Every structure is written in structure tokens, then in C-alpha cells.
Structure 1
């Protein structure tokens, strides 16, 4: 029993040293949303960026990838066009993708010998994906928004959450945290590093914002937002209308029906004032018809 406890204690010590950093090792955590630019600090006091080397690991047992070698960007990496060194030897990454998450190490070499310890930077990438890419959505449509945090795969998501006090959650436009299955929202967390929000959009949701926030030790580190454009449910509709048009025919005044108003049915597109127009035209037609009949009787 004591042997098992001893092994557990050693495991906890190892995990603690991995997550919180060992003595003499500089370590930092950077959170960024995919699509943004990020700045990874090199805090081991480089005196010359020509001595700076940056290496990268996504998994604990994966081979390290050299991104920057003695101040020069390596051209054989997929991300080399998005990488650059800052004036303080920091690593700048443009248009971050979810595949950029992982552990970055800044090293200093003088005469092929490393000077000091690595400066470790854990890059955590917050990635957001709506269920629909539509820019305009009809009211009544259901959308599912997914928010996931990608972190160094050498440590499990649950361990990151616990050890670094990382929290992932949704807030409304007022910044109020949305609780699980409250009101018309359904929030699911299938894993501690992923959280989804499902809701049915209403007319009043037009341009409303929902945000997925990530906090590190109770401090907001990154945020993504979703703001839909709702199609108006009161679209202008075209309707076929029957409008009487008054005409007179003076070719044969002796014919009793010559001056009788003829009604021609014309189909037109109308919006809001069709009915009043029809009534007005009917009145005008009736009056003109009466005057024409009276004039014809007087001539006789």
C-alpha cells in the first residue's frame, strides 16, 4: 500500500513540475483566437537575435520542429511564411490556426553552445465554428455554435483545466454567463475543453452577440463572438391585384352602350395601397358613367 502511495506521490510531483515549471525554467501561457496574430515572448534575456532559436512540439513524444535557427526562419516548415522574429527576439505568428497550438521553446546559442535554459511558451488556441456559414439566417432556424480550446497535447485537457484554472464559457451581449440548459439556450460540454451552444434564432436576435470566453486564473485571455444577421419575416410580398380602369368609346354615339364605362382588368404588382386605389377608381368610373349617360339623354 505504501509503495502505491509512493508511486502516486511521484506521479503528482512529476505532473506538477510539468505543468507549473521546474526551477530555473521560464514558462508562460499565451491564449489566442484562431485567425488573429500572436506574439510569443522569449524571456531568457537574448543579447542578440542572431543567437536565437525557436523550436516547436505539439505532442510530448513528437520530434521537435525547428522554426527559427540562429535568427533565420527555416523555409522547410509549412508555417514559415507566417513566422517572423520581433525586435526582442519574440516569435510572431500571423493568422493563427488551430494547428498552431503546442509548446514553443526559445533557446540561445553562442558558439554552438546553449546559453541558459529554454524559455517555454504554451500556446493555447481558441477555435470557434458555427453550424452554418450563412451570413443571413431566417428566424426560426436552429444554430449550434462550437467553441474549443486546443492546448499542448502532452497534457490532458482535464489536467490543463485543473492545474492552470482554465475556464471556457458562453456569455450573452450583456456579458452575463449563460448557464447550462437555461431559457431557450442549450449548452453542452462534451469535454472540458469544448463547449457548444444551441439556440433557435428570433427576429430580435438580429446583430445580437454571443461570446465564447476563456479565462486563465480568473482573467479573461481570449474571446470569440457570433453575431447573426436575421432575415426580416415581414418581407415585401407581390400580389396580383385587379384594378378597374375607366375608358370611353365615342365611335358610335347612337349606340346605347357606347358611353358605358368599360372595366379592364389589369394585373399589377402592388405593396400596401391597392385597396384604397381600387375603391377610388370605382367611384371615379361610376361618376363618369353617370355624366356620360345624362349627356346622351339630353342630346336625344
Structure 2
């Protein structure tokens, strides 16, 4: 693809970001870190050109557009792009999602001469991730688990349970919200950064105990990630950091975020 064409793509992509708002046709995908994800391209041409030859995927999280797929051709210039592939339906597949992958992805249809064929199809990728204040876990230690939803543009969320928007909750193995009156747990949250933290002192019986963080929209669970306490010396990790069991809610691709 010519340098001029790349410049044109960048200008149009940036213009759509600066002037557009989240529309009713935009797709919002919620995924936990470490999972594989498929981002749908809802404006793909399936009958005019061979196998996604008109499809270009761009990505933005910091007001700078980056081309990932150019006219159906996968780019392998960086380690990040080596995790990308184009599906037969022109969807964008990303392996082993990291917290740096969150942001806005947009699928575009172009001719080789630089004429845009259809309006952009925009996909917002939200990534859920747990981090721990301790690298070595043992009974008697105080540990803080921080669950964060990475989103661009930044969304507001909390654990208040108000209807409508996006919320983060800590739940037990049975999926029941942790009791706020339980003196074992101290919780804190930052709604503007979409973070909810859980602090507790580990007990002997906490070995293999799971604490799960869920992200919901309204009454629907979009994704969840689980922290499991492991004792030192277990073959899964000599430091017994955490065993992250990431859960991908399969039907989240079709959900639309309400303003």
C-alpha cells in the first residue's frame, strides 16, 4: 500500500474518532486478559472482491490510528501484530489479549485507489484484568487484589448496583456478591478509572479459594476473571502467584453499550 494511501487512512480514521460518538451500531466486546477474541466486521463485502481484499482494520487507544490489516493483508512487523489474523468473514482475531490491546478498532472497506466503499464498522474492546499486591502467597499475609476494566474512551463504573451502566463486583465461587458487612474484606473502588480492589488477610483454609471479579452491564455478566490462591511449591508456579481462570462470555459480541 502506498505511503499516500496510508496517510489518507490515518486522516480519515482520526477524523472519525474526533467527530464521532458511540453509535447504536457500534459493537462492544468484553474479554478477560489472556483470552483469544474475535472482533466482527459488520460492513464486510462478501460478494464483490476475493477474500476480504477490500478490508482494512485500524486501531486506536491514544488518538493515533495504527493500521493492523491493509486491504486484506496481515502485517507482521511487530510482536503485537504477530498475534493478529484475519478471519474468513473479515473479522479480526487476536490471540492472548493483554491490557494493552484495549481500545477502539474499526473495520473499513476500500478500493485499491483509495475510495471508501462503506461507513466504518466500529468495535470497542474492553479488557478485564486482576493484579495482586503480593508475588508470594501464604497464610497470614495481607493481600490486595485489584480488578480493572481497561476501556477507551474511559467509561465510568462502580459496584453500587445501579441499573443501566457498567459495574464491577467481587463474588465468591457460587457467584454471590461478597458480603460488605464481612470484616474479613475491605473493598475500595475508583469509578472514574473502573477499578475495584479487595483487601484481606489470608487464612490456612484459603488454599485454592477463588475470588472472582465480574463486569456487568445492567443485569448481564459480560466477562469475569478469577484469582485462585496457590500454596508455595505447587508445580504450577514456584512463587505461587495466581492461577487466572479467564471466562469469556460468548454472547457479548452482540451486546450494545448504552450511553
Gap change, CA 1:159 and 1:219, over 3 Å in 2: closer
Gap change, CA 1:160 and 1:167, over 3 Å in 2: closer
In the alignment, structure 1 residue 49 sits paired with structure 2 residue 22? no
Q: Whole-Å Cα distance in 2 between the matches of residues 125 and 45 of structure 1?
A: 25
Cα RMSD after superposing both structures: 2.5
Aligned 8 A contact 2:185 2:199 in 1: yes
What is the SS of the residue equivalent to 1:120? strand
The equivalent of 2:124 in structure 1 is 122
Aligned 8 A contact 1:180 1:188 in 2: no
TM value normalised by structure 2: 0.73
| Range 160-169 or range 40-49, more displaced | 160-169
Structure of larger gyration radius: 1
For CA contacts below 8 A with separation 6 or more, give which structure has more relative contact order.
Answer: 2
What is the SS of the residue equivalent to 2:53? helix
TM value normalised by structure 1: 0.63
CA displacement at 1:95 relative to structure 2:
1.0
CA displacement at 1:130 relative to structure 2:
1.2
The equivalent of 1:165 in structure 2 is 165
What is the SS of the residue equivalent to 1:157? coil
| Range 195-204 or range 110-119, more displaced | 110-119
CA displacement at 1:174 relative to structure 2:
1.7
Gap change, CA 1:34 and 1:184, over 3 Å in 2: same
- Gaps of at least 5 residues in structure 1 are 1-16, 232-300
Query: Which structure is higher in helix share?
Result: 1
What is the SS of the residue equivalent to 1:220? strand
Mapping 1:168-187, distance limit 5 Å: 168-180=168-180, 182-187=182-187
Aligned 8 A contact 1:56 1:105 in 2: yes
- Gaps of at least 5 residues in structure 2 are 1-19, 233-259
Work out the number of aligned pairs and report it.
Answer: 206
* Displaced runs of 4 or more, over 6 A: 159-164
Gap change, CA 1:76 and 1:228, over 3 Å in 2: same
Aligned 8 A contact 2:158 2:166 in 1: yes
The equivalent of 1:253 in structure 2 is none
